[in-house]
Amino acid sequence: MRYIRPLVQTDPARPEGALTLAGGWCWFDRVELLTRDAPPAIMPAASLTAEELAPLTAPRAALAGLSMDAPRVMAILNLTPDSFSDGGLHAGRELENALALAEVGDMLDIGGESTRPGAEEVAVRDEIARVVPVMERLRAAGCTAPISLDTRKAEVARAGLAAGADMVNDVSAMLFDPEIAQVTAQAGVPICLMHAQGSPETMQDDPRYTDVLLDVYDHLAARIVAAEAAGIDRARIVVDPGIGFGKTMDHNLALLGRLSLFHALGCPMLLGVSRKGFIGKLAGEDVAAERMPGSLALAVLAAGQGVQLLRVHDARETRQGLRLAAAQWGM
């Protein structure tokens, strides 16, 4: 099998014949050809077949009313007592903080279950009790920002969608609770399918891959097929390589280094690296809340590779960084 990674550019000196990536702000005129049994090779994009080019160049459909022609900030609101970075931070101030995040982010991502390494599963009733009242209060307060519900569970997704959520963000890619596919399909909303090896309780014990980049790609391709079989249109599917979910430092860096490969799946991409442990290890910063600079750097680099959705804790800072980068890209 041939895996085709566009060599993405944002330089204003765009050569004649260069192709626009996914209808967005980046372009490419060369690709890296990857296989499992031969060294990588660089080739002109013009040598690809129409079938190979189509997923790379086709504009991505809008998600929950957001166009995918610019990088979008997904602001994290963790309604959990034990999330790795901000557990318990919003207790007693959920509505106030959510409304503030909605002012600076393009979308809110609200979750009631921590999926940090070692986290234990939260009961359905408890997860619903954490997220649904906040969503209902947000909508009652007039908040119109798109809301993504971060959950692995069909019952939670059903309750959250009824309370005003616009999208499901499933870190298990519908494997933890397969019924979540039907719930999403019936609601007609987008779903984000993330790669994870193992469960949060055990995923960092000893993650192994034959080729992490291609293994993650194949897994996401298979989950897209499963979502389509359940009645979810590909235009409503988002993919996330799952940085930090069953990956070592080397695995994370390999995925980030060739992130643009996942555009070949033909779906918008979401990236969640904000404040994660590998940033702390590289930067020498043990305190998760102090990892904003590294998180911002990776967000801007990812946007430069055409990533459409950036899931972040520091929404205001990320938006500012993206505006500066976009000015250099001619946006």
Q: Inform me whether the pLDDT recorded for 180 exceeds 90.
A: yes
Pairing status of strand 72-78 against strand 107-111: parallel
Cα separation of 127 and 314, whole Å?
24
In this structure, is residue 24 part of a structural domain? no
Number of domains in the chain: 1
What is the extent of the structural domain holding 249? 64-328
Share the mean pLDDT of the chain: 93
Are residues 310 and 299 in contact, defined by beta-carbon separation less than 8 angstroms?
A: yes
Under 8 Å CB-to-CB from 328, ≥6 apart: which residues?
10
Please report whether residue 132 resides in a domain.
Answer: yes
Instruction: Assess if residue 292 is contained within a domain.
Output: yes
Confidence category of residue 120, pLDDT binned at 50, 70, 90: confident
Reply yes or no on whether the pLDDT at 49 is more than 70. Answer: yes
pLDDT at 202: 64
CATH number of the domain to which 187 belongs? 3.20.20.20
pLDDT at 231 over 80: yes
Residue 43 in any domain: the answer is no
Residue 166 is assigned to a structural domain of this protein: yes
Determine the pLDDT at residue 169: 98
Whether residue 42 is contained in a domain is answered as no
Q: Is residue 9 part of a domain?
A: no
Cα-Cα-Cα-Cα torsion 291, 297, 299, 304, nearest 10 degrees, comes to -170
Task: Out of 22-31, 72-81, 176-185, pick the least confident.
Answer: 72-81
Residues 2-18 have a mean pLDDT of 97
Distance CA 27, CA 9 (A): 5
Burial 161-191 (b: 16+ CB within 10 A, else e): bebbbbbbbbbbbbbbbeebbbbbbebebbb
Could you tell me if residue 283 is inside a domain? Answer: yes
Is residue 57 within 8 A of residue 22, CB to CB? The reply is yes
Q: Does the reported pTM lie above 0.85? A: yes
Q: Which residues are catalytic?
A: 276, 311
Distance (Å) of CA 186 to CA 182, 232, 278 = 6, 9, 38
